[in-house]
Every structure is written in structure tokens, then in C-alpha cells.
Amino acid sequence: MKILCILLPHFPLRCEVLRHPELAACPVIITRAAASQKTVLDYSPELKNLQREMPLQQALSLYGDAELVRADIPFYGRAFNEILDALETRSPLVEGADPGEIYIGLDGLHLIYETDDMAVMAVREAVPPAFGARIGIAAGKFPAMLAAQHSESGSYRTLEGSLQMFLKDLSCDLLPVSLKSKEKLHEFGLHTLGQIAVLAAGPLQAQFGPEGRRRRELANGIDDTPLYPRPLEEIIEESTTLPS
């Protein structure tokens, strides 16, 4: 399935900056409570070596002077849904996988958008420029996401054919797995997608269970995960007029 991916980098941070412009002038870490521990939800791009889900204390040991902002999840959700609503006027096949990560199915839309350029233009018109959308197109969600990550500002990237050369030097941190799983991959000396791609499925399954095979497929650019568009909500109103 041909997928268009839209990435809105540092979406929670950009939401906060929109309502508190003064945050644009200082390093920021957005935090949230996970069980009994505070973790990093998002952070300013200039704060290198930080990752989402990282314990807050570990982040503060690197950037103790950063401004801490408590995550406002409902606010981010409302802002994200407004963008999804706008995109659904361009295509009925819109999946909001995670705030800041959107997938649109392009199969069957050629009658509306004759070329990828036209589809991308329609998408950009629906997303506020302040969110700095990055766009990629590929056969599957994961390769489309990687294409978006490596697209140039104001343009988009399409991945076609064999993807091994494109994927081989990319970090395994790009895999959609937990931070703990990524750390385990590094412990085994698996730092790039290329290193995972050439492994047999058996050893990966032995260490990571059923997910081991999927990680190998993703590292080879294979992702048959179906698209899950948002369910359509229909509002029915009924009224009557009574005599005074």
C-alpha cells in the first residue's frame, strides 16, 4: 500500500511555543509522569542526546538549566485533532498514529490527485506552517516515516524499489520499539538497521520473541501494517416546535 507520512517534529514543544512564545528563547524539556517516575515527553531540538521516555533525572544530569514544562496531553490532543480534521477534507484515509505522526493512504486517490506533487501540496495546505511538516512517501508506514524524516524542508521524499542501501546505515533507534528494547539492541552490538537486516530471524526471535522477526522485516524496509483511519463520527440532531 502506498503511504504518505507526515511528521510534525517536536509536536508537544511546538504546541507549547504557540501559546507561550517566550519558550522559543530557552531550552525546554516537557515532562510527564509515568507510573512513579517522571520521564521526558519532548525537548528543544538543540538538546542533543535526549530521547523520549528517558528518565527526567538522566535528562537533567545533561541539561540541568533547561526550563521544565509539565505536559498538557489534552491540549496536544485537541491541536492534533484539528490538524486531522483538516487533512480529512483532503483524504478519507487519515490515521493519527501518535501526536505528530500521521499516515495517509494514497491508493485510489489518483482520481483526485493525479500526481504525488498534487497530493503533497493539498496536504501542506491543511497543516499550519508553524508545525514544520516533513513528508515522505513509500510502500508501507515505516519506510514512509523514514522518508519523511530524511526529507528536505518544503519538499518531500519518495522511497521506491530496494531500500537496503538507504536503510543500512540508519540507527536502530528509529525502530518503533520502547527505549528499553533499543538499549538491548545496542547491548548486542546492533546499532544500525543494516546490522539487524542481515541477521537470521531465529536468533532475533530467541532474544526478542515474536517481535524479533518484525524488527528484521522493518530493518529491511518491509511493513505490511494496515492503515487504521479515524472512525467517522456522525452527529444527528432532532428538534421540534411546540405551541406556546
CA distance between the termini of the chain = 59
Extract the C-alpha cell encoding 197.
537486516
CA distance 163 to 136: 14
CA distance 111 to 35: 48
137 by Cβ neighbours in 10 Å (0-12 / 13-18 / 19+) ranks as buried
- The DSSP symbol for 192 reads B
210 by Cβ neighbours in 10 Å (0-12 / 13-18 / 19+) ranks as exposed
Extract the C-alpha cell encoding 185.
539492541
pLDDT in tens, 43-69: 999 999 898 889 999 999 999 999 999
CA distance 40 to 143: 26
For residue 175, CA distances in Å to 71, 132, 196 come to 24, 22, 11
Model confidence at 202, pLDDT cuts 50, 70, 90, reads confident
pLDDT in tens, 225-243: 899 988 766 667 788 888 8
Please give the pLDDT value at position 161: 81
Q: What is the pTM of this model?
A: 0.83
The answer on pLDDT for 210 being more than 80 is: no
Neighbours of 77 (CB within 10 A): 13
Type of residue numbered 243: P
- Does the CA dihedral 223-133-117-165 come out positive or negative? negative
Q: Identify whether the C-beta of residue 69 lies closer than 8 Å to the C-beta of residue 16.
A: yes
Please give the pLDDT value at position 235: 62
In terms of Cα–Cα distance, which of 132, 73, 97 is closest to 228?
Answer: 97
Mean pLDDT along residues 79-87 = 95
pLDDT in tens, 124-181: 999 999 999 999 999 999 999 999 999 987 789 999 888 888 888 899 888 888 778 8
| Residue whose C-alpha cell is 517566550 | 22
Mean pLDDT along residues 33-42 = 88
Percent pLDDT > 90 in the chain is: 54
Please give the pLDDT value at position 233: 62
Please give the pLDDT value at position 243: 86
| Residue whose C-alpha cell is 536468533 | 203
pLDDT in tens, 100-133: 999 999 988 888 888 999 999 999 999 999 999 9
